[in-house]
Chains A and B, each alone.
Chain A
């Protein structure tokens, strides 16, 4: 038998989907860090997390990832996409890139994705629930309403989140997320 007649079939790399997931995780990671400086509810939730608490969210098995830690200052810090050398206390992984693409293109809300078994969670469940709530809040600020309504279970109405506060906080979060700090964290991860 000539083995050369049977070439190895390599799995597709799905470069576009991975690149898209990478950008979404980068923006959400920076958005979460910024939301912790701007939104009162996020600040309250973060206060309940232990100091040094580090979590990662990403796509199994090979990434991309985002890593966030609660610093001594009590604030969340986006550490980038490299997990190596970091002690991850809460590891939230979307089971594969296809599921991640569904979630990141907002065809499935975070809660529905969790209910559909798209996530695997290693770590303390209350902390995972806290992080999911923070992600929902960050998405409400980062995304336009028409998209955010697909991403979260309940998009807050005017009574829950007055438009003035929403737009002001959104502006502050965007300015913080895309501040020179973004280039610093990118440089550190290269």
Chain B
């Protein structure tokens, strides 16, 4: 491989993985000086009984200051402001986040406000505003996709402006990530599939985007192979602990990888589709991932071809001519999406036009695509993408992803 002229890599999250990993939490948090943590979660996680499992596991070791469970699916900065007030009113000194991406990112936002002071997260925007260590944060992911337990990023929505605010700081790295299969066992099949495809998107994009580096490459490739090996078994048999644990680890590894090498087109478009049309992030990722690879193949042919090794195994990789490997990798991801669509009884969408709201109306109307394309310019994920993404490019990709057809490569603008 070609060594990058420069890279930096930082992943200092203490990670514990395995059955009964949660029982280690009190000792580890006490070691960080924690006495009174606040649990941050959402109603779905609470209703699934996971908070009882967590509190039983840490019973007696810590004094729980508060349980804040008012985080909606589409969390925004006002939820963060509200949660920070609860934290301060109950004199908490740390956060235990139990949930998926929305919960973890909201917990990071609450930690910014609770640690730095202030009344609203809107005052803390910008890449350089978080300049000191925040209070301890332990993350217990209940989905295997976001990777937020390993990242220095928090994405929090501003629903008034229909934008997602990006917070980036090494101080946002959690202190502790706990990967316990009890946390993901109750996850429905279609959420398992979509969140795991999110992790796959993290791993793939970190492997071919502009900040790729040897350390994140190693994590990304291993994450891809774990997902391709264990995703279908985990969706078919949700109680299979080893597959669940493998996906949780893959998600964490992909999180550590993309936290250092960042992501590109897939997340650029996915963030905006999510913000404008309120589509779950994992859904966007599973649909857009093949298009991200197709759009960038002319710039990253070798790297995208190498992904095939982890996706399909050594035999298929060796059988496929070097020139055909990028297309084969795209085909493998499309086949995986198709399999997941069939296993979940159609709950795993394959293209944007197929996503429906609860009332049956299209979640992403075709008429929304120009607005989505225009707003991609305000999303930070467009910078690390190997090929330039302007609104016309974004619209062209979105139209293909909406109809579920392969990207017409002749329409990709490659420059002079």
Contact = CB atoms under 8 A, between A and B. Distances in A.
Chain B associates with chain A: yes
Interface of A: 45, 111-112, 114-117, 120-126, 128-130, 132-133, 145, 149, 152-160
Contact of A116 (B5, B128, B166): B5
B416 A125 contact: no
Contacts of A129: 377-380, 382-383
Interface string B365-396: 00000000000011110111001100000000
24 contacts: A114-B383, A115-B211, A115-B262, A116-B5, A120-B127, A120-B128, A122-B127, A124-B125, A125-B125, A125-B126, A126-B163, A126-B377, A126-B378, A129-B377, A129-B380, A149-B415, A152-B388, A153-B387, A154-B387, A154-B413, A156-B415, A156-B416, A158-B416, A160-B413
Chain B CB within 10 Å — which of A112, A145, A149, A153 has the most? A153
Interface of B: 5-8, 125-129, 163, 165-166, 210-211, 262, 377-380, 382-384, 387-388, 413-416
A149 to B, nearest CB: 7
A154 B128 contact: no
Nearest to B376: A129
A128 B126 CA distance: 9
Contact of A121 (B6, B8, B128, B165): B128
B388 A130 contact: no
The 10 A-B pairs of least Cβ separation, nearest first, read A126-B378, A154-B388, A154-B415, A157-B416, A122-B128, A153-B388, A121-B127, A115-B210, A115-B211, A116-B6
Given A125-B165, A130-B377, 15 more contacts: A116-B5, A116-B6, A116-B7, A122-B126, A124-B125, A125-B380, A126-B163, A153-B387, A153-B388, A154-B414, A155-B416, A158-B416, A159-B413, A160-B413, A160-B415
Nearest to A112: B210
A159 B125 CA distance: 38
Contact of B415 (A114, A115, A124, A155): A155
Contacts of B382: 129
A141 B348 CA distance: 46
Contacts of B129: 122
Contacts of A45: 377
Contacts of A149: 415-416
Given A121-B126, A123-B126, A157 B380 contact: no
Contact of A111 (B8, B166, B210, B379): B210
Nearest to A45: B377
Contacts of B8: 117
B416 A145 contact: yes
A155 B48 CA distance: 53
A31 to B, nearest CB: 20
B225 to A, nearest CB: 26
Contacts of B416: 145, 149, 155-158
Contact of B383 (A115, A120, A158, A160): A115
Contacts of A160: 413, 415
Contacts of A132: 383
Nearest to B416: A157
A123 B129 CA distance: 8
Nearest to B4: A116
Contacts of A114: 383
A106 to B, nearest CB: 14
A124 B129 CA distance: 10
Contacts of B211: 115-116
Contacts of A158: 416
A125 B379 CA distance: 8
Contact of B127 (A112, A125, A153): A125
Nearest to A117: B8
B259 to A, nearest CB: 14
A114 B413 CA distance: 22
Nearest to A159: B413
B81 to A, nearest CB: 18
B100 to A, nearest CB: 24
A152 to B, nearest CB: 8
A159 B390 CA distance: 14
A115 B166 CA distance: 16
Nearest to B378: A126
Nearest to A111: B383
B139 to A, nearest CB: 24
A115 B262 CA distance: 9
A115 B205 CA distance: 14
A120 B415 CA distance: 28
Contacts of A159: 413
